[in-house]
Amino acid sequence: MTACIVGWAHTPFGKMDAESVESLLVKAAGGALKDAGIEAKDVDEVVLGHFNGGFSAQDFTASLVLQTSPDLRFKRATRVENACATGSAAVHQGLKSIAAKQSRIVLVCGVEQMTTTPGPEIGKNLLKCSYVKEEAAIEGGFAGIFGQIANQYFQKYGDQSDALAMIAAKNHKNGVENPYAQMRKDFGYDFCRNPSDKNPYVAGPLKRTDCSLVSDGAAAIVLADVETALRMNKAIAFRAAQHVQDFLPMSRRDILKFEGCTEAWGRALAQAGISLDDLSLVETHDCFTIAELIEYEAMGLAKPGEGARILAEGVTEKTGRLPVNPSGGLKAKGHPIGATGVSMHTMASMQLMGDAGGMQIPGARLAGIFNMGGAAVANYVSILERLR
């Protein structure tokens, strides 16, 4: 363990017309520094996760974090991007700086503002997370890509509409207790299961309740080396941090296996010296409900094609053996791309500190995080444990 999370902040996610990328960043960064009890002058480096991809006219954004305080002027600041895993890419970059002893304290921010972009442009921007050469013509944008994945899964393992509805219902129910979530409404299984005017099909077998929300928002964490962290009010340590990158074209992979996810989880569990059974909770990347279903299998929670079984058994419910997405996940919380991975680390840290309110998993000791870019192309796993 080389670094700990010692503070965090999270803006609400949703449609934030009165905000900008800059204002969201300043709120999150300033809040995280205050929560950690750290002065801006003591920060050694800033890492920003911001996908953009056409969502913002301002495409050079690392220095916007410096608007938080004049004392951040002349600090190293870098923007990183790795599709929908951009936030975790920023977190892991901060960890590397500390591990290399280039920094003692790193401010990591993630941000996206998506809702001010017209609908058709949103689809085009998101498709940049695919292999454009082969996949850009898929109807329905990125939802169409996961619609194709769902169709293939259904063809191989049978109709999984019940399972997808159970995931959507679970995550929306959990999201009611998340004060930062964009959608705080318990829709129930029946609404999620049955197509209707309010819940139409979007792509393939995926309905509106199967798709994460277009969203604005920011989150920030402060990282410190372990020696520094142990002198602070709280210290959430990284037992593991692993990143696995797979081929971009879906044509080069068995898209139903999410093999990069499997590899990342395997490496992280080995690094932490634990098994899945040791985890108290997981925050996983449910950009679409079919993604969460396949991730159960990729992480080893279920055998291929049997993800529905663990749902039926209640394993991933808040009261189950391994609660998955007690925050409501991307499905309820929203999915501002650059902020998502940082948000996941914030939610997990809140759980381990016992500060998650209605989201709280009693006695949470170890938290796993899986953040994914593209269709299981960029795969990041973190395993967190509270030191103090």
Q: Could you tell me whether strands 366-373 and 281-283 are parallel, antiparallel, or unpaired per DSSP bridges?
A: parallel
Name, in order, each residue with C-beta under 8 angstroms of 34's C-beta and a sequence gap of 6 or more. 7, 9
Three-point CA angle 375, 315, 189, nearest 5°: 75
Residue appearing with tokens 């599709």 = 83
Of 292, 367, 299, 387, nearest in space to 335 by CA: 292
User: For 361, phi and psi rounded to 5 degrees?
Assistant: -95, 115
Tokens of 27: 């709120």
Secondary structure letter of residue 152 according to DSSP: H
Q: How far apart are CA 189 and CA 169, in angstroms?
A: 5
Q: What is the DSSP string of 272-306?
A: HT--GGG-SEEE---SBHHHHHHHHHHTTSS-TT-
CA distances from 294 to 19, 150, 176, 288 (A): 35, 10, 24, 10
Closest CA to 209 of 220, 221, 201: 201
**Closest to 69 (Cα-Cα) out of 113, 112, 25:** 25
What are the residue numbers of the active site? 84, 335
DSSP strands (E only) in 11-145 = 45-49, 76-80, 105-113
SS3 380: strand
Residue type, 353: M
Using CA atoms, how far apart are residues 292 and 62, in angstroms rounded to an integer?
Answer: 31
Alpha carbon of 135 to those of 13, 229, 237, 248: distances in Å?
29, 45, 39, 10
Q: Number of helices and strands (H, E) in the chain?
A: 13, 11
In terms of C-beta density within 10 A (0-12 exposed, 13-18 middle, 19 or more buried), how is residue 1 classed? Answer: middle
